[in-house]
């Protein structure tokens, strides 16, 4: 058995038209998986799927646009994947929202509700839609892309961090429920990664220096540096790992 071989596996990755999600899709395809590219806008999804098919052969990737806030969209994502590929073996809940930065006292109900809906409840919805077939086959890997924000306090992105801590608990809880059926659920907690999502934290050189200097590796992460962790959590290499949060952060959480 090849430790990192995903041949014949089908992976659905939300928020995969760019950033970390795109890198995960590309690397999973490289390791043999068929991948489903999904984000809100059809155009970018089609582009990424086309790139993967051009590199690995037609039929290795399909695009199924979906808004994670819509239960109907998520069900269609699952249904279209099953229709195209027959099953889902790997689910990566990567898409997330953060419409507010500032102290908790300043967040309005709509913003807080949107963060919790998209980052926690929508993950719950999608996982529950995919789980039955995994439980029936007694095989499957669910990966939630959380954040080191879920492990720490932060005066700027408190509500986002609350949602990311909830994702870690979602993984722990489902791991306990589904472990007897050999369905594994884990989180990845990236540190600061150079994506459009985190642009406000790295495009200012002074702020970037401030947030990377305390880290042992002294730099921002790249999307592809998170993808390897996702391949590991999807592959036979991690067969004995469930309910865990894998921190990939340049060492920032262990530094003074």
pLDDT tens per residue, range 87-110: 999 999 999 999 999 999 999 999
Inter-CA distances, 97 with 119, 169, 177, 199, Å: 6, 18, 27, 13
Take residue 71 and report the two structure tokens written for it.
């239960």
pLDDT higher than threshold 80 for residue 196: no
Start-to-end C-alpha separation, the chain: 41
Which domains are delineated in the chain? 10-192+224-247 (3.40.50.720)
Take residue 97 and report the two structure tokens written for it.
């929202």
pLDDT tens per residue, range 238-254: 999 999 999 999 999 99
Whole-number pLDDT of residue 194: 86
pLDDT tens per residue, range 203-215: 788 888 888 999 9
- Segment 15-23 shows an average pLDDT of 97
Of all residues in the chain, the percent with pLDDT exceeding 70 is 98
Calculated CA dihedral for residues 144, 218, 28, 247, nearest 10 degrees: -30
List, edge to edge, every strand of the sheet that includes 183-190. 61-63, 34-38, 10-14, 90-93, 140-145, 183-190, 245-248
**Annotated catalytic, 160?**
yes
Take residue 130 and report the two structure tokens written for it.
């995919």
pLDDT tens per residue, range 151-160: 999 898 999 9
Instruction: Choose the catalytic residue: 100, 160, 200, 232.
Output: 160
Inter-CA distances, 6 with 35, 80, 238, 256, Å: 11, 21, 12, 38
Q: In terms of Cα–Cα distance, which of 57, 58, 64, 110 is closest to 91? A: 64
- Segment 27-53 shows an average pLDDT of 98
């Amino acid at each position: 058995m090849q430790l990192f071989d995903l041949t014949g596996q089908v992976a659905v990755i939300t928020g995969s038209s760019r950033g970390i999600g795109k890198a995960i899709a590309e690397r999973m395809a490289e390791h043999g998986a068929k991948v489903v590219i999904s984000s809100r806008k059809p155009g970018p999804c089609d582009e990424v799927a086309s790139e993967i098919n051009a590199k690995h052969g037609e039929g290795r990737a399909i695009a199924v646009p979906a808004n994670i806030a819509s239960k109907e969209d998520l069900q269609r994502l699952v249904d279209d994947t099953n229709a195209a590929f027959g099953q889902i073996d790997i689910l990566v809940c990567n898409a997330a929202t953060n419409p507010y930065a500032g102290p908790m006292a300043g967040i309005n109900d709509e913003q807080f509700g949107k963060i919790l809906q998209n980052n926690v409840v929508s993950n719950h919805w999608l996982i529950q839609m995919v789980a039955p077939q995994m439980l029936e086959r007694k095989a499957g890997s669910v990966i939630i892309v959380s954040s080191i924000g879920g492990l720490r306090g932060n005066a700027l992105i408190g509500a986002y961090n609350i949602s990311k801590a909830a994702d870690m608990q979602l993984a722990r809880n489902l791991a306990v429920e589904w472990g007897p059926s050999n369905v594994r659920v884990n989180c990845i907690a990236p540190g600061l990664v150079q994506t459009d999502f985190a642009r406000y934290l790295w495009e200012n050189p002074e702020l970037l220096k401030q947030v990377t200097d305390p880290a042992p590796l002294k730099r921002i992460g790249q999307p592809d540096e998170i993808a390897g962790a996702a391949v590991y959590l999807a592959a036979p290499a991690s067969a004995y790992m469930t309910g865990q949060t894998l921190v990939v952060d340049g060492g920032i959480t262990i530094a003074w």
